[in-house]
Amino acid sequence: MDWREIFGIGVQPINLNTFQVCARAILVLLFALVLVKLAHKRFMAKKTAFEYVLGFMLASILARSINGSAPLFPSLAAGALLVGLQWIIARLACRFDSWEWLVKGRTKILIENGTVNNAALLKSDLSVEDLMEDLRLQAKTEDVAHVRLAKLERNGDISVLRHPRVILLKVESGVQFMEIRLDA
């Protein structure tokens, strides 16, 4: 049995047998592992729209090569091309702001010094309740006055920095004060 027969090269998808589909699955799995290893760690982080789209496209191309609805080796080549393009685009995004914006997006300030930026919420398709949910989960507060800065990050998460808590201790017998800052 030669490699063309093992992988069902030239066989119509409907005529692929179980062994051939399994052989293709093993080959595609190994190839995908090599591709992901060659790609940067951020490739699989799926933190930006670019990474999501790339992941969907790569999965779609490779899956079609397993079931025979697309030719095996040209599909593997297309997968390698996508990972190569990801590497090039990621490099460009690191060096040029315009590419970074296109690939990764920009952060938006949602709260600054206790003031909610309603325009940023609207542009980000976030409701006040969405913001409050993240304040409760991230900063353990429901009071925006406690928030120094809240940003919608490029990956879609909301990061929250609280104002430091200040505790004043007064010693009764003298005129001494002690200030303690607790950063949350």
Q: Which domain holds residue 20?
A: 3-101
26 and 62 assigned to the same domain: yes
16 and 86 assigned to the same domain: yes
Structural domain includes residue 15: yes
Count structural domains, the chain: 2
Structural domain includes residue 173: no
Q: Which long-range contacts (CB under 8 A, 24 or more apart) does 5-8 make?
A: 7/72, 8/68, 8/72
Structural domain includes residue 93: yes
62 and 136 assigned to the same domain: no
User: In this predicted model, what pLDDT tens digit does every residue of 76-115 receive, in sequence order?
Assistant: 999 999 988 888 888 888 888 877 777 777 889 999 999 9
92 and 18 assigned to the same domain: yes
Structural domain includes residue 176: no
Is this model's pTM higher than 0.75 or not? Answer: no
Report CA 127 to chain centroid distance, whole Å: 22
Which of 10-19, 33-42, 149-158 comes out lowest in average pLDDT?
33-42
User: In this predicted model, what pLDDT tens digit does every residue of 43-55 receive, in sequence order?
Assistant: 666 567 778 888 8
